[in-house]
């Protein structure tokens, strides 16, 4: 198996930003997801819009978009992207006391939007935590991951395909 070279370090071990000047400009998208587990009081307050700090999901939606736009300021080796579209949406799962956030980012550029989508999700979830912590401090953020990315040299990635890859690797290993 070929060992991949670390791209964010030079030959002396110094941190460097990857040179993307020779890469082609392509349309790129990324979708990230994550959840926050809350108690019943938080779920009810969010659903009924009775949190004292305001409409939690509206504020978290704006915060997620702002977070995606600030990614290169937060992640040291992340390139600054021209974000063409960013959307943050939520699903409430009252039976599980879970709120799921989705962040989809679209750009045309030389590098992908995965970090922006992940930062958008995390920022939205952290905003929910901040706005609801007076009700419950035991909220847990989890399950944050890249669902899909398109464009660029590596093409399309789908998280769900990972399960199939792991199964194939396991089958290959067992047949040896």
- Mean pLDDT per block of 10 residues along the chain (176 residues) reads 63 80 92 99 98 98 98 93 98 98 97 97 99 98 98 91 57 49
Identify the CA nearest to 91 among candidates 151, 46, 40: 46
Q: The pTM is what?
A: 0.85
Domains and CATH numbers, the chain: 26-151 (3.30.70.640)
Report helix, strand and coil shares of the chain as percent, to nearest 5. 35, 30, 35
77 known ligand binder: yes
Cα(110)–Cα(21) distance, integer angstroms? 8
Exposure string (b/e) for 16-40, b if CB count within 10 Å is 16 or more? eeeeeeeeeebebbbbbbbbbbbee
Question: What is the predicted pLDDT for the residue at 18?
Answer: 83
Q: What pLDDT is stored for residue 106 in this prediction?
A: 98
| Residue 115 marked in a binding site | yes
Q: How far is Cα 78 from Cα 58, in angstroms, rounded to an integer?
A: 27
Residues annotated catalytic, as ranges: 130
167 is in an annotated binding site: no
Residues paired with 146 in a beta bridge:
32
CA 139 to CA 56: how far, in whole Å? 14
């Amino acid at each position: 198996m070929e060992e991949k070279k670390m791209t964010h370090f030079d030959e002396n071990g110094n941190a460097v930003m990857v040179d993307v000047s020779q890469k082609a400009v392509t349309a790129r998208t990324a979708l990230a997801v994550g959840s926050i587990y809350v108690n019943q009081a938080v779920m009810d307050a969010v659903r009924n819009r009775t949190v004292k700090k305001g409409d939690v999901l509206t504020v978290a939606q704006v915060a997620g978009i702002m977070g995606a736009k600030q990614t290169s300021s937060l992640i040291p080796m992340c390139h600054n992207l021209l974000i063409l579209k960013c959307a943050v949406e939520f699903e409430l799962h009252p039976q599980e006391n879970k709120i799921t956030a989705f962040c989809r980012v679209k750009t045309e550029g030389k590098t992908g939007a995965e970090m922006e989508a992940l930062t958008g999700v995390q920022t939205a979830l952290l905003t929910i935590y901040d706005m609801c912590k007076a009700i419950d401090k035991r909220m847990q953020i989890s399950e944050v991951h890249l669902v899909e990315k398109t464009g660029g040299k590596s093409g399309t990635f789908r998280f769900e395909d990972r399960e199939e890859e792991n199964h194939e690797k396991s089958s290959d290993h067992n047949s040896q």
